[in-house]
Amino acid sequence: MNKPLLEVEDLRVRFHSKRKTVEAVRGISFSVGRERIGIVGESGSGKSMTGRAILRLIREPGEVQARKILFDGIDLQSLSEKEMRAIRGHRISLVMQDPKFSLNPVMKVGHQIGEAYRVHNRSSKAEAKKRALEMLEAVQIRNPERVYDSYPHEVSGGMGQRIMIAMMLIPEPDLLIADEPTSALDVTVQMRVLQIMDKLVRDRGMGLIFISHDLNLVSSFCDRVIIMYGGRIVETCKADELQQAKHPYTRGLLAAMPHISSPCERLSVLERDPKWQEEASVDAFI
């Protein structure tokens, strides 16, 4: 295996308040190559905070500590804010769950996508517009010209999600952190977006961190899976071996998934063991 694109060691995220400290991420280590890594786990397990901590997007009262966050040989923790801005959106992109937080409400959609291209590629406005329209088409927007000239509030939620995905993919990042990127999309559009991401991984060697609740989707789409519980990594496995996962939490998550092929009246309820949070975190290295 070549040198990983991203190496994270002993990452911790804490939120301090007067009354208590919440440990959102509790010392996790993993690496990402030019591959598709899925991060799964229930709500509150620390998936999103992991993605944001890598991009240094956690604000006070949040506090991030790590022994190492190395991206393509660059120590992200040592960069100035200006240097970090040059990495964000260009070399590492983040697609978030909700497009509201990524799209500028007072700027037309086309302009935003075109600018995302022009910030990092010296190109004419005409070239940026051409690329933006192509990208809107690629995420299956039927009338790209009309959407190009719309403001974010004039498009539906699902379309906003696709616009954001177009905007994050247009600079062709080396690493994409996709936080539940397709959960608001219908199945055909979801498939299209997965295909686009897949093509970037295969053809351009992009690394992908795919954060999701959907175990079935992750096991069919990703190469490896990291399973998080209570801010720790409890298990890591090859995606196609997820069904044989060993940790009781992963087994519980799998048992709680409905299956079309074997309908049952009642889904099993995940029993939790406090020991899972105390156990030493598993390192998810290639």
Ligand X SMILES: Nc1ncnc2c1ncn2[C@@H]1O[C@H](COP(=O)(O)OP(=O)(O)OP(=O)(O)O)[C@@H](O)[C@H]1O
Q: How far is the CB of 75 from ligand X (least distance, A)?
A: 23
Q: How far is the CB of 208 from ligand X (least distance, A)?
A: 17
d(CA 286, CA 274): 28
Q: How far is the CB of 138 from ligand X (least distance, A)?
A: 27
Question: Does the protein bind ligand X through residue 45 (CB under 6 A)?
Answer: yes
Tokens of 78: 């040592």
Residue span binding ligand X (CB under 6 A) among the ranges 46-54, 65-73, 133-141, 169-177: 46-54
- Give, in degrees to the nearest 5, the angle at Cα 136 between 48 and 129: 115
Question: Does the protein bind ligand X through residue 24 (CB under 6 A)?
Answer: yes
Q: Which residue's CB is nearer to ligand X, number 63 or number 72?
A: 63
Q: Which residue's CB is nearer to ligand X, number 52 or number 129?
A: 52
Q: How far is the CB of 39 from ligand X (least distance, A)?
A: 8
Question: Does the protein bind ligand X through residue 112 (CB under 6 A)?
Answer: no
| Binding residue for ligand X, selected from 4, 27, 38, 46, defined by CB under 6 A | 46
| Binding residue for ligand X, selected from 2, 18, 19, 43, defined by CB under 6 A | 43
Question: Does the protein bind ligand X through residue 44 (CB under 6 A)?
Answer: yes
Q: Which residue's CB is nearer to ligand X, number 36 or number 52?
A: 52
| Binding residue for ligand X, selected from 9, 22, 79, 91, defined by CB under 6 A | 22
d(CA 42, CA 21): 20
Tokens of 116: 């995302």
Question: Does the protein bind ligand X through residue 250 (CB under 6 A)?
Answer: no
Per-position x/- string for 48-87, each x denoting binding to ligand X as judged by CB under 6 A, each - no binding = xx------------x-------------------------
Q: How far is the CB of 217 from ligand X (least distance, A)?
A: 14
Q: How far is the CB of 231 from ligand X (least distance, A)?
A: 7
d(CA 226, CA 52): 16
- Taking CA atoms, 57 is separated from 66, 88, 124, 192, in Å, by 14, 10, 31, 28
Residues from 195 through 234 that contact ligand X (CB under 6 A):
213
Rule CB under 6 A: which residues touch ligand X? Answer: 15, 22, 24, 41, 43-49, 62, 213
